[in-house]
Amino acid sequence: MTARTVFVAGGTSGINLGLAQRFAERGDRVAVLSRSQDKVDAAVASLGPEARGYAADVRDADAVNRAFTDVADTWGPIDVVVSGAAGNFVAPAADLSPGGFEAVVAIDLLGTFHVAKAAWPHLRKPGASIVNISAAQAWLPSPGQVHVSAAKSGVDQVTRTLAIEWGPAGVRINSVAPGPIRGTEGMARLAPTPSAEDAWTRAVPLGRFGEIDDVWQAVAWLTSDAASYVTGVVLSVDGGLSLGGSSAIAAAMGA
């Protein structure tokens, strides 16, 4: 299998780290970026001797640019970008400060734009593929999640718009929207108790939390030649959760 150059923004914990590790296992050269130097160091150590890491905030466009330039200077054109840096917490809109709303939109949405824009000059053209990590909240309004819904719906519109603008250069860009994934920080915040976990499980037609490997299978396909005619889609990997609409998520959130 040909080794590719892969950049995972927010790739130092949870789902994104799991994706970075699976790219490394298939023989790709992997770079990760996140704020915490300790998390970056631990992630790089788990990704093999060739891996590279950058302690940077996706809100800082210059820092993201420097990281992509360094990867391209070291390894050449970038084949795959996964953009998954995000923050989440539950807060009803009436209690949410402007700063809290702004922080999530800045990390998830502005950060996704910074990552794509920093990647663009260094992408392999034709052939590169970008996957933005979205969420069902992007199209299902969810109680306590106005900041996430606003940010992730914007992420999906970045996906669709860049698919149109960058398609002629042979660059594909898609979103993957995971459902509740077991053992992640995101679900620790949305389902902090066993009864909350049960409520989420009942909201999923397939009757279980997803695994990081479920997300990987979708990302592996979207970034492979098998998906060479697929761009601008939002692929749910959620066990059918989103089929239940906003009421399913509201029930899961105990609203």
Site for ligand NAP in 85-114 (CB under 6 A): 85-88, 107, 111
CB 142 within 8 A of CB 246: yes
Q: Decide whether 124 or 133 has the Cβ nearer to ligand NAP.
A: 133
Helix (H) or strand (E) holding 235: strand 234-237
CA distances from residue 57 to 37, 112, 144, 238 in whole angstroms, order as listed? 11, 11, 25, 28
Per-residue contact string for residues 180-209; x = within reach of ligand NAP by CB under 6 A: xx--xxxx----------------------
Which residue number, 87 or 144, has a Cβ lying nearer to ligand NAP?
87
Among 20, 72, 84, 149, binds ligand NAP (CB under 6 A): 84
How far is it, in rounded angstroms, from Cα 173 to Cα 127? 11
Nearest Cα neighbor of 10 from 112, 163, 93, 79 is 112
Choose among 122, 3, 12: nearest CA to 68.
122
Say how far apart CA 64 and CA 81 lie, in whole Å.
13
Does 36 interact with ligand NAP (rule: CB under 6 A)? yes
How near is the Cβ of 170 to ligand NAP at its closest, in Å?
Answer: 26
- The answer to whether 59 contacts ligand NAP (rule: CB under 6 A) is yes
Nearer to ligand NAP, 78 or 124 (CB): 78
User: Min. distance of Cβ 12 from ligand NAP in angstroms?
Assistant: 4
CB 11 within 8 A of CB 19: yes
For ligand NAP, the closer CB: 145 or 231: 145
Contact with ligand NAP (CB under 6 A) among 4, 22, 29, 39:
39
Residue 35: Cβ within 10 Å count? 17
The site for ligand NAP (CB under 6 A) is made up of 10, 12-16, 34-36, 39, 57-59, 84-88, 107, 111, 133, 135, 178, 180-181, 184-187
